[in-house]
Amino acid sequence: MRVLKDLFAKNRAWAENIRNSRPDFFSRLAAQQSPQYFWIGCSDSRVPANQIVDLLPGEIFVHRNIANVVVHTDLNCLSVLQYAVEVLRVKHIIVCGHYGCGGVAAAMENREHGLIDNWLRHIKDVYRLHRAEIDLLPKDQRADRLCELNVVEQVANVCHTTIVQNAWNKGRELAVHGWIYRVDNGILKDLEVCVTGVDQIAAIHQVR
Ligand code: CO
């Protein structure tokens, strides 16, 4: 119980496997990381960033939380975002949600879940913003649509940060994407809400 031998055995085999195909892989990686992509996704164990897009260590910078939410005052998420944009100088920020998200489903309920209700309330805000559209849908489609709309709103939240807008104002090439992943078939879908400049966001949020 105190030593997870299986995981250490798996780790040794994994590292050896990579070394066998690329002997200098880890030594090169130790020297520097230069990922092009920053992934903001759900903590759900079925939605692992690297595996879904088949990228190796060093190729994608990752932040994950319950229901891939970007909260204006979340110092954790904002710090990772700042590092990604200002230090790593990523070219793409990907907000990736997934259908069947437990966090989104919980946000649609009226019962108490404890501490996490404070987090889920941000998703309730998304529901409230889009209630007219969601409530027109058959009941069994509402949660999946909220999963999509939650991604769209979090893309907007990323764009509203001064971190992203400062990069754009300096002429940096930076695209913010909204994607959604289907757990039951492993396929990603582009929600086609890509934002690449200050002029594409709501006027009230623009920083010039
Ligand atoms: Co989820």
- pLDDT at residue 69 greater than cutoff 80: yes
Average pLDDT, the chain: 97
Ligand 1 center to residue 42 CA distance, Å? 5
Please list all protein residues whose beta carbon sits less than 5 angstroms from ligand 1, which is an ion. 42, 44, 101, 103
pLDDT at 31 over 90: no
pLDDT reported for residue 191: 98
67 C-alpha to center of ligand 1: Å? 4
Average pLDDT over residues 162-167: 98
Distance (Å) from CA 202 to ligand 1 centroid:
27
For position 1, what pLDDT does the model report? 77
Note the pLDDT tens digit of each residue in 80-129.
999 999 999 999 999 999 999 999 999 999 999 999 999 999 999 999 99
Using the mean position of ligand 1's atoms as its centre, give its distance from the Cα of residue 108 in Å.
Answer: 13
Q: What is the mean pLDDT of residues 150-167?
A: 98
Known catalytic residues are: 42, 44, 46, 98, 101
Per-residue HEC secondary structure of the chain comes to CCCCHHHHHHHHHHHHHHHHHCCCHHHHHHHCCCCCEEEEEECCCCCCHHHHCCCCCCCEEEEEECCCCCCCCCHHHHHHHHHHHHHCCCCEEEEEEECCCHHHHHHCCCCCCCCCHHHHHHHHHHHHHCHHHHHHCCHHHHHHHHHHHHHHHHHHHHHHCHHHHHHHHCCCCCEEEEEEEECCCCEEEECCCCECCHHHCCHHHCCC
How remote is the CA of residue 177 from the centroid of ligand 1, in Å?
18
